[in-house]
Structure 1
Amino acid sequence: MTPEKFTEAAEQFLARRVPGTKAYSLADTLKPLTIEEALAVQQEIIKLRPDVVAGWKCLLPLAEDKLIIAPIFSETMQKGDQCWLMKDNTKVRIEPEIAFVLSKDLPARDEEYSEAEIDQAIGSCHMALELIQSRFADDSDAVFPERLADCLVNQGLYIGPEIDKTTAFSASKFHIFISQTEQSGELSEQKFDGVHPNPLPQLPVYWAINFMTKRGTTFKQGEALTTGSFAGVVELNFDKKTYIEYAGIGKFDVIFKELV
């Protein structure tokens, strides 16, 4: 792919970030087929957006050709008693996660950052919800690099209450309770045996920072890194008070509002 093709692919992916999108694979001339091409398209998306990178989603690589890293943009980062997002197949779709927020810059460099240096740069840890929007049709034949270029179903991030840093760093397993108030006043509850996909939730932060800083990316103070769902994708309803608890860690409530 040429630089012009990276830009054109990025423009098409950005045009899909609207309600109701269920698209098919890009034209063959625009389709990223390698990890390097996917990351190049992501960089073009960063350049084309009117806002700035405010966070990253990451996970330890699933395989050499399946890296999990994607920017999250400032206009899609939220907190507070309401969370606005686009519906996906009529539902709110979220992933319960832990986010690590930087209190200092970590500039791009060739030398790896030590875990201790990164730990020192993490200023706070938070309950977080990755906001999910699958922009490819269910029967799309899009290959992994194309999905990576499109930022891996991310549509934003909700930052919840701060949690104890030591607790966050050891939170590999915990029970999750998510309930919504029905019109009758009763609660409908979903329960999960929460397990992080990696041994510890901070491990993807170490990998992502060293992978990206060696590629020229500077991580900035205030950016949040979210590192994988403890319960897969959870489907909920709009306009209902939603109670979310990570047992022994923290809890909060929020109302999901549809972004149209």
Structure 2
Amino acid sequence: MLDKYIHGAADALVKRRLNNKLTARLEPCLRPDNADQALAIQQALISQMKDSTGHEVGGWKCALPFSENDLDEMPVAAPIFANTIYDRSPCPVRLDEGVCKIEPEIAFRFHKDLPSRSEPYIEQEVIAALSGAHLALELIQNRYLASEEASYLEHLGDCLFNQGLFIGPEITLDQAFSASEIEFTLTAPSDLSTSTTLAGKHPNKYPQLPLFWLVNFLSAQGIDIKAGQLVITSSYAGVIEVPPDQEFSLQYGELGSILLRFEVS
């Protein structure tokens, strides 16, 4: 894939992200054919976001690589921009098919840099660089028209549906590292009778396993982890839909809860 097509794809993706405009799939010449091309588009998008708006990477989303159908060992990694990370209610959100779409996750926060290097980081080094963990909600948006059937690689170039991140209460690393399964309770405070219980299970068994993978995956590409960045490592319960402008609470078993209201931006 020629550089002009990589940068052309990134330019189109940046424009629709900033304009909050859903579009059809990109022109065939701008669509990635493999993971390397998708990640190159992603990096060009990061560069263009910084140049055009000053917005920097504030964190990452990830999961362990997967193989499915004609896809083999696909990486799951995408940036989360710092200006889309929130910790107060009401939280701004862009609707997806008329609702707020969220994924319940655990976020890890770094307090020191992990510069890219040739030697892989061992788990103890990654843990030593962490300051703690938080209950978190990934904010989801599909920036392709619902009628379009974009490939995984196209979504990878466009940061895997991420539109932002809400950071909730802090938990200990011990709590995070043992959180293989979490029972969630979703409640609208205005109607306590409508509580819904969701059985949550981390798709990679433990949330720290994709974290360890991500650090070395980024390092191999010459990308540093920076102090203050956050990393989420996949949803425990898929996508949850909640209405805008209505306060709700999401209880993470015995770990704590998030009380939040979304406000359409």
Q: Structure 2 matches for 1:134-149, cutoff 5 A? A: 134-149=142-157
Structure 2 spans left out of the alignment, 5+ residues: none
Give the Å deviation of 1:181.
Answer: 3.4
- Render the CA deviation track for 1:140-173: whole Å, top value 9, x for unaligned: 2322111100111110111111012101101000
Query: What root-mean-square deviation, in Å, do the aligned CA atoms of Structure 1 and Structure 2 show?
Result: 1.4
Counterpart position of 2:129: 121
The code of the aligned residue for 1:11 comes to D
Q: Structure 2 matches for 1:80-229, cutoff 5 A? A: 80-182=88-190, 185-186=191-192, 188-229=194-235
Q: Distance in 2 between matches of 1:86 and 1:189?
A: 24
Identity across matched positions, percent: 38
Counterpart position of 1:61: 65
The code of the aligned residue for 2:212 comes to Y
8 A contact 1:66–1:144 mirrored in 2:
no
- Render the CA deviation track for 1:168-214: whole Å, top value 9, x for unaligned: 101000100111234xx555322210101111001001001101111
The code of the aligned residue for 2:241 comes to E
Counterpart position of 1:232: 238
Q: Distance in 2 between matches of 1:188 and 1:238?
A: 16
- Render the CA deviation track for 1:40-84: whole Å, top value 9, x for unaligned: 001011101121000000000112342110000011111012211
CA 1:141–1:62: 2 relative to 1, 3 Å:
same
Q: Distance in 2 between matches of 1:145 and 1:9?
A: 12
Q: Distance in 2 between matches of 1:258 and 1:231?
A: 23
Secondary structure in 2 aligned to 1:16? Answer: helix
Larger deviation, residues 228-237 vs 9-18: 9-18
> Normalising by structure 2, what TM-score?
0.93
Secondary structure in 2 aligned to 1:10? Answer: helix
Q: Distance in 2 between matches of 1:78 and 1:199?
A: 27
Q: Distance in 1 between matches of 2:93 and 2:77?
A: 21
The code of the aligned residue for 2:94 comes to M
Q: Distance in 2 between matches of 1:197 and 1:164?
A: 21
Establish whether residue 15 from structure 1 lines up as the match of residue 19 from structure 2.
Answer: no
Secondary structure in 2 aligned to 1:80? Answer: coil
The code of the aligned residue for 1:202 comes to Q
The code of the aligned residue for 1:82 comes to P
Give the Å deviation of 1:15.
Answer: 1.8
The code of the aligned residue for 2:97 comes to N
Structure 1 spans left out of the alignment, 5+ residues: none
> Normalising by structure 1, what TM-score?
0.95
Secondary structure in 2 aligned to 1:7? Answer: helix
Q: Distance in 2 between matches of 1:232 and 1:109?
A: 34
Q: Distance in 2 between matches of 1:23 and 1:61?
A: 27
Give the Å deviation of 1:137.
Answer: 2.4
Larger deviation, residues 116-125 vs 62-71: 62-71
Larger deviation, residues 60-69 vs 209-218: 60-69
Secondary structure in 2 aligned to 1:17? Answer: helix
Q: Distance in 2 between matches of 1:221 and 1:20?
A: 29
